[in-house]
Amino acid sequence: MKDYFRSMSFTSASTRWADVWFATAARGISSCGDFLAASALTLALQSAGAGGLAVSGLLLAATLPLVALAPLTGRLADRVDSRHLLVGAGLTQAGICLALAYADHPVVVIGLVALLSAGLAVTQPVLSALVPAMVRSEDLPRASALNQTAGTLGALAGPALAGLLVGEFGARLPLLIDAGSYLALVAAGLLIRTRRGGVRPADPALTGGDTTGRRVDPAADGGTAAGGASPGRDWRLRRDPLLVAMVATLAGVIGAVGAINVVEVFFIRETLGSTTTVYGLVTGAWTLGILIGAWIFARLARRFADDGALLGAGLALLGGCCLMVLVSAAVPSALLLVPIWLVGGVANGGDNVFNNLLLARRVPEAARGRAYAVFGAAVQGAAMVGYLVGGLLLAVAEPRPLVATCGVAGVLVVAGFAVPLRRAVRAERAAVRRATVTGKPVDEEWTAAGRSGTTTRPTEGRWTDEPGADVGSTGPGRVDPRSPGAGLATGRSAR
């Protein structure tokens, strides 16, 4: 950030809890629908005798738009009215999913899945950036906890529901339910009064009026006020060494472990001989672990004095995720995967909290939609590598050794990134110390050291832009568990 920018911009009036609940409900319902559709299509392909390449192609179609469209959708989230985006994207996605329920040809199915993911590329950064604008800084942890819990519960219910419905009714009914779930986004867009992005007059909450609903100050949220420019327009991820290290590490691990998302359905259903119901239960265990881990590690996050400590802790948790994948290769029964993947999900949830807290501290509000889109694109781009590798390897190897290979590869990547990450943390801390002595902003100290930094100025060992004094004391940071192309979930390739 440049000099005294604050990462998070909150409303100056009272928190709109009604808006928070509308956003929470929309996140939970749409997340459940996303997971329901993804699991139903995966099970339908496997039951029809399709191989790893078919499943890999489906996952790639659900991921590619999030990567390719990130530069556009991130800017849309910052510059276009959030209500217009949510309503338009929600209606479009509902229509696409309705067509998907009646599509039979594999090429048509994959094409429609890609279009569905394009809509997700729009709605994810919009919702993620909108929640902080609804609340005061002291209420952000609670609001984030509600949003996080709803999304994770939806992701938990989706695969389990798919396992039950596909076995009884086939894939059409789950897809029709998913089409209806997108109407929750439309309703949220119409009912939420808080809005960000777009060209508009000053915030009514600041001028004393409240006839059109609260809208965030254009200079703060990335919109364009008449005669003014957004202060976050020049934000770039590459200018922040710690965020670069975080994204590179996460992408590397996801690329190494990502094949598990293709392999798992064959490992659970064929190698371990389980039913579709057990498959839904096992995959849901990891998601449940994410929810538990998010609450546990949100409370622990306040113990980390600086961003470097958070980054190191996140790396350790990624190692735990990879280790659980490795251990799962040895199980003789699918039910034994439940406690193992539950532990892996706990580590995954903790890493999500730390990553999102780093983003909240270090990215200006005006660039928040872009930041979430860029981060999600990096995660999903790495996941695409895993999907492709998993599909290819299943053609020549059995699922069990491939699961073990994913775990080993992930552990090796974590070990390989340990030294570069430590160097980035040391350089960051050195810049902070120099800034404390010289009184210059940290980003100037980075420049003096031959780097281009965006770290905000520290105050007594803590960050002036931290969203609340004890962000981890009441709830987790935002996290989006795996959905078709989910943006911010991590570990086991975006689960």
- The domain that holds 262 is classified in CATH as 1.20.1250.20
Please check whether residue 267 is in contact with residue 399, taking contact to mean a CB–CB distance below 8 angstroms. yes
pLDDT at 438: 65
102 pLDDT higher than 70: yes
- Close Cβ partners of 83 (under 8 Å, ≥ 6 residues apart): 189, 190, 192, 195
457 pLDDT higher than 90: no
- Span 273-291, average pLDDT: 85
205 falls within a domain: no
- Is pTM beyond 0.85 here? no
pLDDT band at residue 160 using 50, 70 and 90 as cut-offs: confident
pLDDT at 477: 31
Q: Report the number of distinct structural domains present in the chain.
A: 1
Of the ranges 45-49, 319-323, 358-362, which one carries the lowest mean pLDDT score? 45-49
**Percentage, residues of the chain above pLDDT 90:** 17
pLDDT band at residue 91 using 50, 70 and 90 as cut-offs: very high
Rounded mean pLDDT of the chain?
75
393 falls within a domain: yes
Please check whether residue 165 is in contact with residue 174, taking contact to mean a CB–CB distance below 8 angstroms. yes
pLDDT band at residue 488 using 50, 70 and 90 as cut-offs: very low
Residue-wise pLDDT tens digits, 162-174 = 878 887 788 888 8
472 falls within a domain: no
Of the ranges 93-102, 239-248, 287-296, 438-447, which one carries the lowest mean pLDDT score? 438-447
pLDDT at 252: 92
409 pLDDT higher than 90: yes
Bridge partners (DSSP) listed for residue 215: 195
Residue-wise pLDDT tens digits, 413-450 = 999 998 888 888 887 777 777 766 666 555 544 444 44
361 pLDDT higher than 60: yes
277 pLDDT higher than 50: yes
206 pLDDT higher than 70: no
pLDDT at 354: 85
pLDDT at 66: 79
Residue-wise pLDDT tens digits, 147-158 = 777 887 887 788
pLDDT band at residue 375 using 50, 70 and 90 as cut-offs: confident
215 falls within a domain: no
pLDDT band at residue 464 using 50, 70 and 90 as cut-offs: very low
pLDDT at 50: 67
Q: For the beta carbon of residue 227, count every other beta carbon within 10 angstroms.
A: 5
381 pLDDT higher than 50: yes
366 pLDDT higher than 90: no
471 falls within a domain: no
Residue-wise pLDDT tens digits, 110-156 = 889 889 888 888 888 888 778 777 877 667 666 776 777 788 788 77
213 pLDDT higher than 80: no
pLDDT at 459: 34
62-76, 82-96, 109-123, 137-151: which is most confident:
82-96
376 CB burial (10 A radius; 0-12, 13-18, 19+): buried
452 pLDDT higher than 60: no
pLDDT at 355: 83
Please check whether residue 364 is in contact with residue 231, taking contact to mean a CB–CB distance below 8 angstroms. yes
- Close Cβ partners of 232 (under 8 Å, ≥ 6 residues apart): 5, 222, 364, 365, 366, 367, 368
Structure tokens at 425: 């943390």
pLDDT at 486: 35
CA–CA gap between residue 175 and residue 171 (Å, rounded): 6
Please check whether residue 168 is in contact with residue 306, taking contact to mean a CB–CB distance below 8 angstroms. no
215 pLDDT higher than 60: no
265 falls within a domain: yes
Q: For the beta carbon of residue 420, count every other beta carbon within 10 angstroms.
A: 12
443 falls within a domain: yes
pLDDT band at residue 491 using 50, 70 and 90 as cut-offs: very low
Please check whether residue 10 is in contact with residue 132, taking contact to mean a CB–CB distance below 8 angstroms. yes
pLDDT at 369: 75
What is the three-state SS of the chain?
CCCCCCCCCCCCCCCCHHHHHHHHHHHHHHHHHHHHHHHHHHHHHHHCCCCHHHHHHHHHHHHHHHHHCHHHHHHHHHHCCHHHHHHHHHHHHHHHHHHHHCCCCHHHHHHHHHHHHHHHHHHHHHHHHHHHHHCCHHHHHHHHHHHHHHHHHHHHHHHHHHHHHHHHHCCHHHHHHHHHHCHHHHHHHHHCCCECCCCCCCCHHHHCCCCCCCECCHHHHCCCCCCCCCCCCCCCHHHCHHHHHHHHHHHHHHHHHCCHHHHHHHHHHHHCCCCHHHHHHHHHHHHHHHHHHHHHHHHHHHHCCCHHHHHHHHHHHHHHHHHHHHHHCCCCCHHHHHHHHHHHHHHHHHHHHHHHHHHHHHCCHHHHHHHHHHHHHHHHHHHHHHHHHHHHHCCCCCHHHHHHHHHHHHHHHHHHHHHHHHHHHHHHHHHHHHHHHHCCCHHHHHHHCCCCCCCCCEECCEECCCCCCCCCCCCCCCCCCCCCCCCCCCCCCCC
95 pLDDT higher than 80: yes
489 pLDDT higher than 70: no
Q: What angle do CA 131, 379, 318 make, to 5 degrees?
A: 95
Q: How far, in Å, are 85, 281, 282, 329, 482 from residue 336 at the CA level?
A: 43, 11, 9, 11, 22
Name the nearest CA neighbour of 298 among 404, 73, 143, 482: 143
297 falls within a domain: yes
CA–CA gap between residue 297 and residue 253 (Å, rounded): 20
| Domain range enclosing 69 | 17-198+235-463
